[in-house]
A and B are shown apart, each in its own frame.
Chain A
Amino acid sequence: EIVMTQSPATLSVSPGERATLSCRASQSVSSNLAWYQQKPGQAPRLLIYGASARATGIPARFSGGGSGADFTLTISSLQSEDFAVYYCQQYNNWPPTFGQGTKLEI
């Protein structure tokens, strides 16, 4: 199965700043990559699919990029509600696999 590796494990950023999270696949997943946000005690929420398409209702400050094996999630100007854990997930191969997460903290 494809192994997804996220970096860094924790990212400390101030509100209003830009944050860039990375995700690397152990082999190419084309553009079949999703990003999720999870806040404490809540379910994950789909942010990005197809590597760069925003899901319904997701603000424009969230953007995804990359293809093949290297991907990024960028949050252009951090709001207080953006501090959470972010997971990437590949769906190019079966079974679908997730990264271990990046915690975005103030």
Chain B
Amino acid sequence: EVQLVESGGGLVQPGGSLRLSCAVSEFTVSNSYISWVRQAPGKGLEWVSTIYSGGSTYYADSVKGRFTISRDNSKNTLYLQMHSLRVEDTAVYYCARTIFTGSYYFDYWGQGTLVTVSS
């Protein structure tokens, strides 16, 4: 069964940094497209970033220059390094296996990890 398990969320001050992890099973990160999607408390879903099987990376304008998506093929794990965090980055962050058709949709999701940016 395909599984994605996020970790690394927590409370961080504005301007701080945090790294999220997403361990996957039953598929390989190196051969897949995988994304981060976030959901602010009580709000809808927002695409954040995607890494392609070939290694190309793409970001939403709201996080470009502050967040970096990467993967460790040996650990079959996806990461999201977040810098210069803002209050508006507060959200549950989901990793999701991604179907690429020019743009993306998401067929399997992790359970999410909560990031709270507050002083």
Contact = CB atoms under 8 A, between A and B. Distances in A.
A49 B99 CA distance: 10
A45 B102 contact: no
Interface stretch (B8-16, B70-78, B80-88, B106-114): B106-114
B47 interface: yes
Contacts, number: 60
In this complex, the interface size class of chain B, counting residues with CB under 8 Å from chain A, is 20 to 34
Nearest to A56: B107
The 10 closest A-B pairs by CB, nearest first: A43-B109, A91-B103, A34-B105, A98-B45, A91-B105, A100-B44, A94-B103, A96-B47, A96-B104, A96-B103
A42 B103 CA distance: 25
Given A46-B107, A49-B99, A95 B45 contact: no
Nearest to A6: B44
Interface residues of A, number: 24
Interface of A: 32, 34, 36, 42-46, 49, 55, 87, 89-101
